[in-house]
Structure 1
């Protein structure tokens, strides 16, 4: 996953896709997000549970432990290592969902620049990406070290031609189980390794080269080009 996504739906559209009956504490806002070119290190809408309350917060995309100051904050975590490696140990228990409308990858097709592709669900519904992070606390408020990473797995099928890694995408049922603090860590790991959505639920197509510049923000960035 190259590290660019879109969140243009409203937070209530994302919550509706999750189908959770919990009351919502929404600090993101009521209007459509209208963000078509979201880059790492910026604030991204995230869903997480605190007690019985579902929270929608803006959290920085990227995180590193306090002792890893000699490297940039990763934005992704490999599913093969995330549950057992020391780097993400502190945040592995703190699970979240990053709901997106699509994400982007860049492919070397022999031209002077890599060609960007947009990837989304074929049915147009939100993509529920498994994430972990240092998340805002409703009592203490946002913290300066808050951040999150999206968990990625090997691609399969035709998507390998676009990129060898992709987000672990969960069905609404699995996403609710993933968010539930009562879900054992062993079960959470098994869900990531074996039960993410198959590649065939996605479609992908070429989009404008303009998506490569994070200063470009318009809706035209998600339109198909020939």
Structure 2
């Protein structure tokens, strides 16, 4: 039997998963899927589907080591396993850890890219994340850390002075603290901020604020995760 792990970025809805990803789901013996995928994608599956979705700040949710063990157990049985992830598998998706688990089990590995939420959010507003004329790059950061505090998570002075778009994933809870650190290190409080909550779902909200008001805005508008946050002058290009 040929054991293989295929990690698939599912995008945010049925229309944004690639054809290659759909083919992988069709042929898999087992599909391990995230909480935020479009569940209609599971209609492609002919094998067993297992929910391994995590819930932010929930101490009782499944741990990554448990997911790795599930992957390893099925691979050891010679199965083809699809790990179906919301968004793109290359951005804050713990793909590297699952690839390591599969390789340790002696399995082949394939990774099929998806569409990350920041790209979807900017496309919704007929904009982009960069502009070669004055915004030559983009930085992706996460709003919470595995260990430590926000203070030692990043070089905030460097981030504030890069002049690039900053995209924050999983940052709703700590957005006020992130904004404070960027402003303290030189970024203007007037810099625009775009927040996309529950993108591509019935509960989608797209909101604008400024860096100086971001923490208060999140509280007053009861912004919930999942949300993707874009910080920078590129937000002014939104149509």
Q: Same fold (TM over 0.5)?
A: no
- State the TM-score, normalized to the length of structure 1: 0.29
> Where is the helix percentage greater, Structure 1 or Structure 2?
2
Highest CA radius of gyration, 1 or 2? 2
- State the TM-score, normalized to the length of structure 2: 0.27
